[in-house]
Structure 1
Amino acid sequence: MVFQGSSAAISHTGKVRSNNQDSGYAGSNLFVVADGMGGHAGGDVASSLAIGRLTELDQPFRSPTEAEHAIREALADTATELIDTVASRPELAGMGTTVSALVMVDDYAVIGHIGDSRIYLYRDDTLTQITADHTFVQRLVDSGRITPEEARYHPRRSVLMRVLGDMDPDPEVDSFIMPTQDGDRWLLCSDGLSGVVDDDHTAKTLALGMPPARTADALLKQALDGGAPDNVTVVLVDVGGQHPVFIGTPTIVGSASNPRGVVVPAARTGRAGWLHHARQVANEPTHFEPAAEFLEELIEEDRRRARRRRLGWLAALIIVLVGLGLGLYGGYTWTQSRYYVGTDDDSVVIYRGIQQSIGPLSLSTVYEDTDVTLDELSEFDRQTVETTISASSLADAQRIVDRLRPAEEVSG
């Protein structure tokens, strides 16, 4: 059955790069985002090849299981094609691409995914990330070593652990089948969007209910307003819904829309694996190193960063504790410069400190137990001294005691 719904695809170079290595596709049943990497032209070629191979899947399938098998075969064939292309054009060595693909079969969404492009589902006012990023920092999140928020700003957040590349003819691909329903909004995007626009703002935009093309435009604008350091590609798919169904010429965006326009640079020397730095400064070659050694280097770097972070927190805690201690000491010192007149069981007493306590700790002590007894005082003076009398200094406290003495004792 042909998919019943509407879709849109859009791709932009962004504000930093001068070429677009992303590719996107929105057809009748197939929807794809591919984010290429590998130098100025390698990424263009890789994502274009992926789209070109996957377009064969834009057809009705008899079952979701058949479509899932077809996706896995198509992605394996794409990896083989990348290897064959590099064999004939060694100047493209090291190229690779992410792929996030969605095939609609009856009331099911069939998903194939590798890399760090993403597929989201917006349903019942809730945005859910359906695919898992195949990145170094996602492994750190999964192992509990960093939080998702820390991963968002981690300096190695774009280092890919799995990708369609020119070194692995049997890539490890995630594929699964999910039920879908009228009103669902499926969002496929490169990390040029997800790395700049957070999920809350994406959800608010999807909640507006605008047609797919306008929604995609709004998401792209948010990425551009956020600086768009990378290419941005958005494919939006509405299941059923209020917007007109459009089934016709597929929409192809990004480098796949003009594959013959790709300019291949001069050959690079050296050979390396596919554990890639996926995002570099515009037009700089993607960084490659042998997988095992590079992974160990990244892990050790993360350990050093974690140690520095712990030392930073410890230093901050020490500073706070020292400041708190100095503050408490200063406050206590001030209290010991104060005096007041009160009573004990049967006599007038001069106290040093203030009339408060911190838990079990009293902030006053007996400075002098005078020879003036409570029995010698008038009823008014006795009540006054029992409620305590504040003094501005020790001399003032002693003057207060002298005023409380009986007249004959003072004259004597």
Structure 2
Amino acid sequence: MASNTRGAAVSNVGRVRSNNQDSGYAGHDLFLVADGMGGHAGGDVASAIATNHIKQVDREYDDPEVARETLKNALLEANEALAETVYEHPELTGMGTTVSAALRVGDFMALAHIGDSRIYLWREGELTQVSTDHTFVQRLVDTGRITEEEAAVHPRRSVLMRVLGDVDAHPDVDSWILETRPGDRWLMCSDGLHGVVKSELIARILANPASPKTVADRLLKASLDGGAPDNVTVIVIDIDRGDQPHEPVTVGSAAAPLSYVTDASRPRAPRLPLPSLLLHPTRPVQVPTHFEPQTEDYLGELIEEDERRHRRRRAFWISFAIIAAVVLAAIGVLGYQWTQTRYYVGIAPDGNVAIYRGVQQQVGPWHLSHIYQETELQAGDLTDFERQQLRQTTNPSSLQDARGIVGQLSHGG
């Protein structure tokens, strides 16, 4: 069938970073976002090299499986290109990039993904995340150790488990095929968007029938309004909506000449050992960051640290619960003791007038009063007015007052 794909790409440095290490591409049939890491050691170089390499496969395909395989291989070849660049420029050691890419083939999308950038599908009013974050906290979520809500605020939420770069010669790239329909709207973004803007707001913005460019700009604005501590790159793709074609556009660091991003005048960073290159920061840093842990020792340390954090948190809440229980028990005891200093006059179950100790309330099945002294005065000997007064509860402040009321009733009788 004849197909029409409309897309738009926007990228912004954000409100905190000094340079844009993201790259994005919205082509004829290929769309991708790459989030570079490595600080001044070359995050912008990594995302630019990967984007410019992968976008060469932007052409028509007859078979979605061929497109999927081609796209996955393009990411692996980009990984080799990054390794070669580091070999030629040792000062770029530790650079890397995430990549999330989609290649349309008729009624299908061939997808490839590595890292923590995301691919979403908005269809018939529902937003679905179709990619899986390759992060330490996502692994904890997948294994049931923490919830999605805890992952959003976890201190290790920035640790990536997989990226393209000079760390792994054979990275594990996710690739799969999904059906797409007319009216679908796809979103690809760096964590500068999904790490700041809640999915509910993303869905509301995507629901607007405006053009992909307008929607992408609104998503960018939402991130900037939220503080945008990281670079923000957004790709919006419409499937068979309207007939206005778009020209391929490259944004972010990949839009600059590669000779600029590898220029010898750029700042040089010291070569650092791998464990120093593990975080994808949300704030500016002075050293290369955001890299995939490659050693079991390091991963074990992260897991042990997380377990210690959970133990500390459990100990805190257990202590809090014990203290709260003690305080509530003390309040209950003091409150009950106070009620036993109060007296009132009422009618006992056998119909005699009695002095009650306590108050006329109850907590669950427990009454807060009991008969202190039962008189020989029967309720039947009282006038209707006197009986009504007793039923409406008399709460004297002392035993002496209660006895005075009984005396008045006896005298009146």
In the superposition, the TM-score normalised over structure 2's length comes to 0.91
Using the TM superposition, give the Cα deviation of residue 337 of structure 1 relative to its aligned residue in structure 2, in angstroms: 1.8
- The answer on whether the counterparts of 1:377 and 1:404 sit within 8 Å (CA) in structure 2 is no
Structure 1 SS opposite 2:34:
strand
Structure 2 SS opposite 1:121:
strand
Equivalent residue runs for 1:14-163 within 5 Å: 14-163=14-163
1:162-214 alpha-carbon deviations (Å, 9 max, x no partner): 11120212110100001101111111100011101111111111111110111
Q: Quick check: 1:254 aligned with 2:258? A: no
Partner in structure 2 of residue 209 of structure 1: 209
Using the TM superposition, give the Cα deviation of residue 321 of structure 1 relative to its aligned residue in structure 2, in angstroms: 2.4
Indicate the RMSD between aligned Cα atoms, in angstroms: 2.4
Equivalent residue runs for 1:3-402 within 5 Å: 4-242=4-242, 244-246=244-246, 248=247, 250-258=248-256, 259-262=258-261, 263=263, 264-266=266-268, 268-272=270-274, 276-279=278-281, 281-287=283-289, 291-344=295-348, 345=350, 347-370=352-375, 372-374=376-378, 377-378=381-382, 380=384, 383=387, 387=391, 389-402=394-407
1:302-333 alpha-carbon deviations (Å, 9 max, x no partner): 11221222223223323432333233233322
- The answer on whether the counterparts of 2:94 and 2:277 sit within 8 Å (CA) in structure 1 is no
Using the TM superposition, give the Cα deviation of residue 101 of structure 1 relative to its aligned residue in structure 2, in angstroms: 0.5
- The answer on whether the counterparts of 2:30 and 2:101 sit within 8 Å (CA) in structure 1 is yes
- The answer on whether the counterparts of 2:229 and 2:282 sit within 8 Å (CA) in structure 1 is no
Structure 1 SS opposite 2:94:
coil
CA distance in 1: counterparts of 2:294 and 2:182, whole angstroms: 46
1:266-314 alpha-carbon deviations (Å, 9 max, x no partner): 2523442697212263252224676323212221221122122222322
Structure 1 SS opposite 2:370:
strand
Identity of aligned residues (%): 50
Which one-letter code corresponds to 1:281 in the other structure? Answer: R
Which one-letter code corresponds to 2:259 in the other structure? Answer: R
Using the TM superposition, give the Cα deviation of residue 48 of structure 1 relative to its aligned residue in structure 2, in angstroms: 1.1
- The answer on whether the counterparts of 2:30 and 2:55 sit within 8 Å (CA) in structure 1 is yes
The alignment of Structure 1 onto Structure 2 pairs a total of residues equal to 405
CA distance in 1: counterparts of 2:354 and 2:269, whole angstroms: 95
CA 1:367–1:267 in structure 2 vs 1: closer, same or farther (change >3 Å)? closer
CA 1:381–1:17 in structure 2 vs 1: closer, same or farther (change >3 Å)? closer
Q: Where does structure 2 lack aligned partners over 5 or more consecutive residues?
A: none
Using the TM superposition, give the Cα deviation of residue 25 of structure 1 relative to its aligned residue in structure 2, in angstroms: 0.6
- The answer on whether the counterparts of 1:165 and 1:274 sit within 8 Å (CA) in structure 2 is no
Moved more, 165-174 or 302-311: 302-311
Using the TM superposition, give the Cα deviation of residue 396 of structure 1 relative to its aligned residue in structure 2, in angstroms: 1.1
CA distance in 2: counterparts of 1:40 and 1:266, whole angstroms: 7
Structure 2 SS opposite 1:391:
coil
CA 1:154–1:206 in structure 2 vs 1: closer, same or farther (change >3 Å)? same
CA distance in 1: counterparts of 2:17 and 2:382, whole angstroms: 92
CA 1:39–1:359 in structure 2 vs 1: closer, same or farther (change >3 Å)? closer
Using the TM superposition, give the Cα deviation of residue 113 of structure 1 relative to its aligned residue in structure 2, in angstroms: 0.2
CA 1:389–1:82 in structure 2 vs 1: closer, same or farther (change >3 Å)? closer
Moved more, 315-324 or 167-176: 315-324
Structure 2 SS opposite 1:186:
strand
Moved more, 379-388 or 92-101: 379-388
- The answer on whether the counterparts of 2:126 and 2:203 sit within 8 Å (CA) in structure 1 is yes
CA distance in 2: counterparts of 1:88 and 1:144, whole angstroms: 43
Structure 1 SS opposite 2:83:
helix
1:99-148 alpha-carbon deviations (Å, 9 max, x no partner): 00000001101000000000101110111111000000111111122211
In the superposition, the TM-score normalised over structure 1's length comes to 0.91
